[in-house]
Amino acid sequence: MKIIITGGDGFCGWPTSLHLSNLGHNVLIIDNLSRRSIASALQYESLTEINAIHNRIAKWRELTGQEILFYNLDIAHDYAPLKEVVSSYNPDCIVHLAAQRSAPYSMMTVEAGNYTLSNNVLSANNVLRAIEQHDRTIKLVHLGSIGVYGYEDRAFEIPEGHTEFSSVDSNNVEYKVQGQIPLNPTSIYHLSKSQITSLLNFYSQNYAINITDLYQGIVWGTQTTETRMSSELSNRFDYDEIYGTVLNRFVVQAQAGMPISVYGKGMQTRAFIHIQDTVKCIETAVISPAANNSEVEVMHQISETRTVKSVADHVANLMNAKIKQVVNPRDEEEEHRYILANTKFKALGMNRLNTLGDNLLDEIQNVVSKNLHRIDQSCIAPKVKWGKVVEKQPAERERIAS
Amino acid sequence: MKIIITGGDGFCGWPTSLHLSNLGHNVLIIDNLSRRSIASALQYESLTEINAIHNRIAKWRELTGQEILFYNLDIAHDYAPLKEVVSSYNPDCIVHLAAQRSAPYSMMTVEAGNYTLSNNVLSANNVLRAIEQHDRTIKLVHLGSIGVYGYEDRAFEIPEGHTEFSSVDSNNVEYKVQGQIPLNPTSIYHLSKSQITSLLNFYSQNYAINITDLYQGIVWGTQTTETRMSSELSNRFDYDEIYGTVLNRFVVQAQAGMPISVYGKGMQTRAFIHIQDTVKCIETAVISPAANNSEVEVMHQISETRTVKSVADHVANLMNAKIKQVVNPRDEEEEHRYILANTKFKALGMNRLNTLGDNLLDEIQNVVSKNLHRIDQSCIAPKVKWGKVVEKQPAERERIAS
């Protein structure tokens, strides 16, 4: 297959590009290298050294003989060249991963929030538009976030995609509607992903584009089969307060002899997946059309749910580290039920994804111990704070007689 | 009260500005005059002559002694000056009307669609952000569209805002969720409005901003009490295929001796409201806080629902005109049930809005007959076509073994 991967230079995009290329697919990456420029601006660099994109690609060609094409494009703003690349390459599938993907980054400053919203929404719209304009049979795989549901206490299993709801109107007429459970994003990043959901629905319903939307959990790990082939192919390893996900941060802290910092009670439940499974799930979505062209196929790309505390305990036990509870920088439920349906990938043959018990921490420890000299301890403590404003009482303004 | 009106130079914005100013409120308009520049670009001008914004405002000052302030800003892109105006004026309320508001325009070209989406979504986000940053007690009134629900056949009454839904998960656990009925926009314009819904929800839930979202029907009529005070205050009257709403188009056709053109069967049901009631409803929303700060108050700003055919019959009878059925340029349901809850404005004392039977057609006829020489008959026939792509069968691509 011919596959375009937007965001193919990023943390999920790069190993996905190599994985699909290794399987013999033709891969074309579109990326504006924004993850690199944001890392420079924040001065929070990857623990692993990241090769320049052209060198990465050259190394891959040298090792495998496979050619990965690359275009540096800002797809949020440059629709015409995006359309031109799609038209001339004429892919079978576009894997749309290009996004500003950090929730803390999106809540850091007004500028970062507005950038995240416009970048993510406009990029997705331009990709959909290019498909609609060039060839509506191009399959689209989008990488969403399981975080769009929010994290309130829920006693039921959150369905993958549409389910049936019943209600009664004011005339006592019973009725049924099909839809997702209401999304409840709690960061601008997750808000942008929930807005992309409505974009995907629109293009699917109106233009019969075949779309799979992968609601992914928190990714852990660094390397995949392909990125391990050479240090010059190494994937990113972010451990800072903004881009570092919880498990990677914990391992760095333990390895550096710091206490593992858990935000608040640590009973927040989150979904997790290993980067090796991310690339396999994306591959599966690429080769498996959504069941029909007029409804987006939502799939939960997760292997397990765990409390943050249980992740911390696991790392602390393995690495003989201490746990330190820190003030939660986010106003969030610190204890809640969170049950996610998770059958669609299994139905496609992905029966066994990696979990935290699978000794894959060795790989992270290995990455961290090789790069101990590069650890910047000052980038771990959370500085970005956000959350709901507490005053929820009715407005005090008086109604003024007209 | 001090009120900022974004889009205050537009068809709903200008009479709203005058109405609120006439009641003694202090009004500041922010507008980039895009409705004027789009009209010039399309060469579809208002039937009424529209005075330059500074002249309109000067005339209003001369007649009433009331000062309306004006800032020319592109609020989709110029966040910093918007924030500066909000901070220095320090309003009690922002009425956010600024938007590209034509569905046909949004479906006309790729550029017009992308412009509509980015302009409307980013403008709303910037207004919300300015409130959040300056003073979260500023009340926000947004003008949405009743069209976000779509027009499929529905046997039940569509609730105003949240209602309770029940479902059963895969483990047979029954559960309830609160939410709106799923939105089903059928144009990029309506898609932008459905995306603004999720923005409003986010800012309301996370920052306790008091928000009323008015889902408005199709507006008919031209003048209000205030715009009638002088021809130099005249409101727009659009009758073209892109910006002309159905009733206004029919009256122009009848007055010009053309047959009234009905798209398809004409049994499409739509909601209507007269411009005089639009300004009163907005006033009511301005002075009536939403019931609470963490849930957007959705109100249906409509006076009646009617089929397009019944509107055409009404105009044809009154004006002794013929009706001509034309090929529907939109792929849409041409016959469907469409029942809208409509109690919230009544609860606020707005018991009797104007309907088509209320002789208000005289006013339109008057406007049209005074401007007969300005009618451009060539701008009425629909040229923009859109709709669902019909091929809805499952994708033909084979699953490729990995």
Which band of pLDDT confidence, cut at 50, 70 and 90, is reported for residue B360?
confident
pLDDT for residue B389 = 57
Residue in the structure block whose two tokens are 């309907």: B355
| Size of chain B in residues | 402
- Put simply, the answer to whether B289 touches A395 (Cβ < 8 Å) is yes
Q: What is the DSSP string of B264-293?
A: TTSB-EEEEEEHHHHHHHHHHHHHS--S-T
In the sheet with B218-220, reading across from the earlier edge strand, the strands are B218-220, B269-274, B304-307
Residue in the structure block whose two tokens are 């992903």: A193
- Put simply, the answer to whether B397 touches A139 (Cβ < 8 Å) is yes
ipTM rounded to 2 decimals:
0.93
- Put simply, the answer to whether B166 touches A163 (Cβ < 8 Å) is no
* Average confidence (pLDDT) over B72-84: 97
Provide the shortest C-alpha distance from residue A313 to chain B (in Å): 30
Determine contact, residues B185/B147, Cβ cutoff 8 Å. Answer: yes
Determine contact, residues A152/B148, Cβ cutoff 8 Å. Answer: no
Q: Could you say which of B195, B389, B393 has the minimum Cβ distance to residue A207? A: B389
Answer yes or no: is pLDDT of A392 > 70: no
Residue in the structure block whose two tokens are 């939109």: B330
Q: What is the DSSP string of A297-339?
A: EEEEE-SEEEEHHHHHHHHHHHHT--EEEE--SEE--SB---E
Determine contact, residues A219/A273, Cβ cutoff 8 Å. Answer: yes
pLDDT for residue A352 = 87
Residue A128 CA, distance from chain mean position? 19
Averaged pLDDT score across all residues of chain B: 93
**C-alpha distance across the termini of chain B, in Å:** 65
pLDDT for residue A390 = 43
Mutate to test the interface with B, among A109, A176, A390, A402 (most CBs of B within 10 A): A402
Distances (CA, A) of A68 to A3, A62, A75, A93: 10, 11, 19, 15
pLDDT for residue B316 = 94
Domain ranges of chain A: 2-150+158-238+273-303+341-355
Which band of pLDDT confidence, cut at 50, 70 and 90, is reported for residue A399?
very low
Residues of A in contact with B194 (CB under 8 A): 198
* Average confidence (pLDDT) over B333-337: 90
pLDDT for residue A370 = 92
* Average confidence (pLDDT) over A214-235: 96
Residue B256 CA, distance from chain mean position? 27
Determine contact, residues B205/B32, Cβ cutoff 8 Å. Answer: no
Which distant-in-sequence residues (6+ apart) come within 8 Å of A343 by Cβ? Answer: A160, B170
* Average confidence (pLDDT) over A222-236: 96
Q: Could you say which of A136, A175, A292 has the minimum Cβ distance to residue B389? A: A136
Which distant-in-sequence residues (6+ apart) come within 8 Å of A317 by Cβ? Answer: none
Tokens representing B196? 């603004």
d(CA B9, CA B17): 8
Which band of pLDDT confidence, cut at 50, 70 and 90, is reported for residue B330?
confident
Beta-bridge partner residues of A212: A141, A297
Q: Note the pLDDT tens digit of each residue in B159-183.
A: 999 999 999 999 999 999 999 999 9
- Choosing among 1.25.40.10, 3.40.50.620, 3.40.50.720, 3.40.50.170, the CATH entry for A2-150+158-238+273-303+341-355 is 3.40.50.720
DSSP state of B303: S
pLDDT for residue A397 = 38
Residues of A in contact with B165 (CB under 8 A): 165-167, 177
Q: Note the pLDDT tens digit of each residue in B232-246.
A: 999 999 999 999 989
B2-383: CATH class: alpha beta
Nearest to B296 by CA among B151, B166, B124, B134: B124
**C-alpha distance across the termini of chain A, in Å:** 65
**CB pairs below 8 Å between A and B: how many?**
212
d(CA A27, CA A279): 14
Q: Note the pLDDT tens digit of each residue in A187-208.
A: 999 999 999 999 999 999 999 9
Averaged pLDDT score across all residues of chain A: 93
pLDDT for residue A386 = 78
Which distant-in-sequence residues (6+ apart) come within 8 Å of B105 by Cβ? Answer: B38, B112, B116, B189, B242, B243, B384
Q: Report chain B's C-alpha Rg in angstroms.
A: 21
Residue type, A359: N
Provide the shortest C-alpha distance from residue B376 to chain A (in Å): 32
Q: What is the DSSP string of B122-150?
A: HHHHHHHHHHHHH-TTSEEEEEEEGGGG-
Q: Note the pLDDT tens digit of each residue in A303-322.
A: 999 999 999 999 999 999 99
d(CA A209, CA B96): 33
Provide the shortest C-alpha distance from residue A308 to chain B (in Å): 23
Mutate to test the interface with B, among A196, A206, A210 (most CBs of B within 10 A): A206
Answer yes or no: is pLDDT of B321 > 70: yes
Crossing angle, helix A110-134 and helix B110-134, to 10 degrees?
160
